[in-house]
Structure 1
Amino acid sequence: MLNDTQFEIFEWHPAYQSCQRFFLDHAQHEAMVQAVAAFVNICLPFQWQDSPIVNSTIYNPPPAGPGPYNLPYPRHTNNHAPARTSAQSIPWVSLIPFIRRLVVTGFDKEGILHGFFGDEWKKGVGPLQECERRNYLFAAKSVGWAKVKYQYDISPNETVPFMKPLQDVKLEEIEGAEKTWSQWLAMEDWMLGPRSVDIDGSPPRHNSAPDSVL
């Protein structure tokens, strides 16, 4: 998604909203989705103890402030929120935690993603799945198993029960991750802008020490 010159965010967003509505109105109430969610230990919106969201007809504004994944997933909403009007958006429910959990447990299969997010899943959540698969590769390369698991735990009650190596990996996916990882390493070394490595991989000319220092 990040490197695709054809990606258009304003075309993507309606598809993502369609996935949200399908997930809230239909998928979370299906036995298959409930079984998968139980197996990978993540609560569906209608199961949230504080302000459960059973469908997309009630408007609940997002909570203030960020919601790190290593903290309880932000589910505190306004119990007295007004009914949604046509000018308002659907309830704010991020699909990212569910995509992440499916990726790390090896359940991000086409059939499961279709069951969770509907017919427009490839356009709506496909780009996010691609990013999360790459993030999982980066996490595994960065730290050990325990710290990777910690990053994917949501709360004490919704820890990751198991993790699997990335499933159904294609060569182009690995090569794309390698290229992006190299860009991150360049970022760590401040090899950016005028200091960035040339396209052919050769280091910048001004990387050597100035004559006055030699």
Structure 2
Amino acid sequence: MAHPSNFNSPQVRTASAANSNSTTRADDSSFDIFVWHPKYASCQRYFLDHAQHSGPVQAVSAFLNIHLPYQRDPPTNSSTVVSPMRSTDPGVGLSNASSIGGPSTLPFPPAPSISLTPYIRRLVVTGLDFPGVLHGFFGDDWAAGIGPLHEQERRNYMFAAKSGGWSSVKNAYDMAPLETVPFLRPLQGVVEPEVVAAEKSWSEFMAFEDWMIGPRAPAGNRQAGGNGAGNTGGIR
């Protein structure tokens, strides 16, 4: 999987934008975490093994004041990260996946235990979360892998801006003590459906604050037979 040398190249921008249109929202009742997870794991491996070692990603990360895994102690790539499913002790971890309702053998390799969320958040609040950069950081599977998380983080940023002033928002996105956010920009590339969806979610949260939930929820906000967490299949 090749990584782009130019985040703004027309080829990367066009391909990524097309993929992002098919992203399923994480709060959609049809969202299937077992379909999503292999794509997210692909983004993790791309970020660890390719992106963090590329000049463009290193430049952007330095500008945004966030350390990459290779700069941490110890340095990290996907082959050096040990997840619970990679334990050398056969009695440790998820070796018996049937205990949580899944198959006894995994259909894909275990994912590296590193979160991509801090990098998604930093790109969102600095206004650099356009498709070419997301492709450069997370690879060809970015739309399906981190796309749902990216959409949710954009909404979270809108909520943070609505619920507090500039200093409280910056404080929420700073990573103490050294990786503070150098600047904040209003959400970029916003489209009307995104604002409408955020307004609906905000109204639901306001109702929740007033305990207007369950049978007390406004008629338009009641969810029959679901909690919006997506399809978790056979987990018990």
**Structure 2 length normalisation: TM-score?**
0.71
Opposite residue 52 of structure 1, the aligned amino acid is: P
Structure-2 residue corresponding to 1:52: 75
Change (3 A) 1:190 1:47: same
Opposite residue 75 of structure 2, the aligned amino acid is: P
Opposite residue 51 of structure 1, the aligned amino acid is: P
RCO greater where, 1 or 2, for CA within 8 Å and sep 6 or more? 2
Alpha-carbon separation, structure 2, partners of 1:45 and 1:37: 11
How many residue pairs align between the two structures?
178
**Structure 1 length normalisation: TM-score?**
0.78
Aligned-partner SS, 2:219: coil
Is the Cα contact below 8 Å between 1:19 and 1:121 reproduced in 2?
A: yes
What is the CA deviation profile of residues 113-168 of structure 1, one whole-angstrom value per residue up to 9, with x for unaligned ones?
Answer: 00000000000000000000000000000111101001101122100000000000
Opposite residue 119 of structure 2, the aligned amino acid is: F
Rg larger for = 1
Is the Cα contact below 8 Å between 1:59 and 1:89 reproduced in 2?
A: no
Is the Cα contact below 8 Å between 1:57 and 1:90 reproduced in 2?
A: no
Structure-2 residue corresponding to 1:115: 136
Opposite residue 18 of structure 1, the aligned amino acid is: S
Provide the alpha-carbon RMSD of the alignment: 2.1
Counterpart of 2:159 (choices 138, 143, 148) is 138
Q: Percent identity?
A: 58
1:38 shift after superposition: 0.4
Structure-1 residue corresponding to 2:215: 194
Aligned-partner SS, 1:28: helix
Consecutive unaligned residues of structure 2, counting only runs of 5 or more, are 1-24, 89-105, 223-236
Structure-1 residue corresponding to 2:58: 34
